[in-house]
Homo-oligomer: A and B are copies of this chain.
Amino acid sequence: MNNEKIIDKLTEENFDSMFVFKPENIKYISDFYPTSFAYLVIANDEPILYVNSIDKQDAEAQSKIETCDIKKLSEIKDLLVGNIAVEGSVDFEYLKYLTNDISKLKMSDAIEKARMIKTSDEIDKIRKSIEIASKSIYEIDFTKSEKYAAATLEFNMNINGSNNPAFDTIVASAVRSSSPHSVPTDNKVETPIVVDWGARYDHYCSDITRTFIDTERQEEIWDIVLEAQKAAYDVVAPGVKCSDVDKAARDVIADYGYGDYFIHSTGHSFGLDIHESPNISFNNDSLLEENMVITIEPGIYIPGELGVRIEDDVLVSNNPEVLTRKLPKKLDFVI
């Protein structure tokens, strides 16, 4: 069914064939995630997966589409007929093997477009990924360094059924919390502690942030961020502009005088990739649709002082579901 959507979109865009290279897109179409060089060709309304010998056995067991032995890229020219689509993210270097005239190749986001709207099977996998991530945070060990804490959390996710972390786990404590992408250090953990983490279940991500606090000042900022998050939740619905969701959160933070300290977007879609379209940002006027899964993650980062972020995952519908709702916003912790 996913694949019909993609083929319809390609036809609509007047393409006759497509070369697919990104592992996440191959997984989406075939249900098999390649561990080595692999590609997929869509031609005559039919996708075919090409894998090398190392992946053959697993691909045949898992793929729901036809699977063949990989050929040299130069040998698949004949399969790519008519108007040829490629992914925007395909490596430039491969293209010369696919056609004698690169200028004939055009990008299509047919697959990424299909991936924006999650199927019930995908939503189930994201739920499972969230369950693993949520369960694992209770066993994080804050008694040593930020790095140690991140390692304990990733370990717990792994043994709770995650393939691997959805992204490098962030444990940013004390003044380092004021940098949203802070890398865990050997410093001892102190409040506030921003923990941003996610699991992968059958390659589907989760993405959560909690900030552990214990002073009045931290609580003051935390309350504003939570209010901003709630304001954004209230706006989420099919047909709403992404920029309006961003604005709802941003306005709350600006009203409290911290507008300059909310230095990233309010959220993003995710699924097989941790960052997918649409981005929930001030300048993205595209519309939310039913069954998108997005993060809502406002934050305030005061340089040299502290940072606070609260991030939850939301299933877009007329009655939006906070998929991470079982995980309390405030968590007890022991240092």
Contacts and interface: CB of A to CB of B under 8 A. Distances in A.
B107 A181 contact: no
Given A54-B263, A102-B103, A151-B158, A181 B35 contact: yes
A180 interface: yes
A53 B183 CA distance: 15
Interface residues of A, number: 40
Contact of A147 (B36, B92, B158): B158
A55 interface: yes
A87 B147 CA distance: 33
A265 to B, nearest CB: 11
A158 B164 contact: no
A4 interface: no
Given A158-B150, A159-B151, A107 B93 contact: yes
A93 B90 CA distance: 8
Contact of A54 (B89, B90, B147, B181): B181
Nearest to A160: B151
Contact of A181 (B36, B158, B180): B36
Interface in A168-186: 168, 179-181, 183
Contacts of A164: 165, 168
Contacts of A179: 54, 57-58
A99 interface: no
Nearest to A180: B54
A293 to B, nearest CB: 21
19 contacts: A54-B180, A54-B263, A54-B264, A57-B179, A58-B183, A88-B93, A89-B93, A91-B91, A92-B95, A92-B107, A102-B102, A103-B103, A147-B158, A147-B159, A148-B159, A151-B155, A151-B158, A152-B155, A163-B183
